[in-house]
């Protein structure tokens, strides 16, 4: 069984939304003053939640199309790459050579798991 391209696309979009959700959680937490209402009424945190709900919807859509776990979940690991790039573009947080090496390992792992044959 092969994973349909639509399933892979769903997981790539989910990875991007997951990274955006993480970023919104962090920036929302930075702006919160600590009271419960500052979390509940924070538009960044709320939008981050919407991103994560969207991620779950995309997961279901990808599996409904016949996507394989062993192919799709490694693709979701690109969330970490997207998060690092988003932090770099918005906050100027440096991406070091060790970060790039880790990203390379993620990509290599995705490739290896995606090409593995299942019985």
The larger pLDDT score, comparing residue 1 to residue 43, is at 43
Residue range of the domain that includes 69: 5-115
Separation of first and last alpha carbons in the chain: 9
Domain count, the chain: 1
pLDDT tens-place string over residues 106-119: 888 888 876 765 54
pLDDT of res. 54: 97
| Nearest residue to 21 (alpha-carbon basis) of 58, 62, 53, 61 | 53
The helix (H) or strand (E) run that includes residue 19 is: helix 5-31
């Amino acid at each position: 069984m092969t994973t349909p391209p639509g399933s892979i696309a769903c997981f790539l979009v989910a990875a991007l939304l997951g990274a955006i959700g993480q970023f919104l959680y962090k920036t929302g937490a930075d702006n919160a003053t600590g009271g419960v209402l500052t979390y509940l009424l924070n538009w960044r945190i709320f939008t981050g939640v919407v991103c994560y709900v969207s991620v779950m919807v995309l997961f279901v859509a990808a599996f409904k199309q016949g996507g394989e776990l062993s192919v799709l979940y490694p693709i979701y690991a690109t969330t970490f790459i997207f998060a690092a790039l988003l932090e770099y573009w918005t906050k100027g947080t440096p991406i070091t050579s060790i970060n790039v090496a880790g990203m390379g390992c993620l990509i290599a792992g995705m490739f290896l798991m995606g090409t593995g044959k299942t019985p």
